Structure 1
């Protein structure tokens, strides 16, 4: 018996944000076991990467939202993950992103985060969310700024110091004016 989880597909110019496939695990584990995972509690063992991969699927089943796998449209390669996380110990839902080796510096993180944030606000009611960012993670700090997020406060996540960045509200009712 196979349990299925309904994960919406979002398409951008260069990317497809989609659910998990077991074939994605190799790229996921390559990121998780590398030094590049330092800002998300890594590097991890392959076994811990497997557990995190499975937790990503479970998050969708439990919360009805989660992180999408990012597929590079032109190559079909897995380029990272993006989406909403509300793990035990989090203050509130977070917009998070991980871009895999070889896909950085091309605007894909921006494209994916913008699409995920918009979808989460309009379809999941997750609007004006936060991102937890390590103060030394200059690439993520620049991306948060580019996304219009503002440093709200210093905080901790799972006992680790971080900055908390607040994203602008996306969804507006017909009576709310657009932000200038």
Structure 2
């Protein structure tokens, strides 16, 4: 993995992908991604329905996380043409001791190895650049594709945990 500085837009490059900080200019892409059926089924409905909603989501999510933690969710784009295919990054959630790795992909790019490639780069950033002792992940039970990616990262299933009060338990990986 070739890596840029985390204070610039590009945070990492892999053989096929560039991970870069999201900006408000990514609102249309995020509007589309957050409303993908797979995103809603496996991550949740964020209630983002307009470009203004997407800008607000970017400001209160990734952009705020960059300012507070120095990391967050990053745009996954193909190096060859700059086309956004998804997001991948590091999340610090309230109530969780560890930093979580997360990702989401536009449906037409599933099954091409992009998420695994980006997630490995994020894991390496977490451990080397950010000096985190470990990363964790949560997955909707039965999301076999995500479970395989987490296993490639070296994470193991720790069983079901209630992470979000009032919501069904999720599979916890560490």
Tell me if the contact between 1:89 and 1:158 (Cα under 8 Å) persists in the aligned partners: no
Q: List gaps (5 residues or longer) in structure 1.
A: 167-180
Show CA shifts across 1:105-153 (max 9, x none): 1111010000011011101112321001111212111111222210013
**Structure 2: distance between partners of 1:67 and 1:107:** 18
Q: Secondary structure at the match of 1:88?
A: coil
Tell me if the contact between 1:24 and 1:78 (Cα under 8 Å) persists in the aligned partners: no
Label 1:56 to 1:43 Cα distance change in 2 as closer, same or farther (>3 A). closer
Aligned-residue RMSD, C-alpha: 1.9
Label 1:137 to 1:154 Cα distance change in 2 as closer, same or farther (>3 A). same
Report the counterpart of residue 24 of structure 1 in structure 2: 26
Deviation at 1:15, TM superposition (A): 0.3
2:117 pairs with one of 111, 127, 130: 111
For these two proteins, the number of residue pairs brought into alignment is 162
How high is the TM-score relative to the length of structure 2? Answer: 0.84
Q: List gaps (5 residues or longer) in structure 2.
A: 1-5
Q: Secondary structure at the match of 2:148?
A: helix
Tell me if the contact between 2:12 and 2:20 (Cα under 8 Å) persists in the aligned partners: yes
Structure exhibiting the larger radius of gyration computed from Cα positions: 1
Show CA shifts across 1:42-75 (max 9, x none): 1633255433322111101011221211111122
How high is the TM-score relative to the length of structure 1? Answer: 0.81
Structure 1 residue 162 corresponds to structure 2 residue 173: no
**Structure 2: distance between partners of 1:127 and 1:13:** 26
**Structure 1: distance between partners of 2:137 and 2:111:** 20
Structure 1 residue 76 corresponds to structure 2 residue 82: yes
Report the counterpart of residue 15 of structure 2 in structure 1: 13
Name which of structure 1's ranges 111-120 and 85-94 shifts more when overlaid on structure 2. 85-94
2:49 pairs with one of 29, 35, 46: 46
Tell me if the contact between 2:98 and 2:134 (Cα under 8 Å) persists in the aligned partners: no
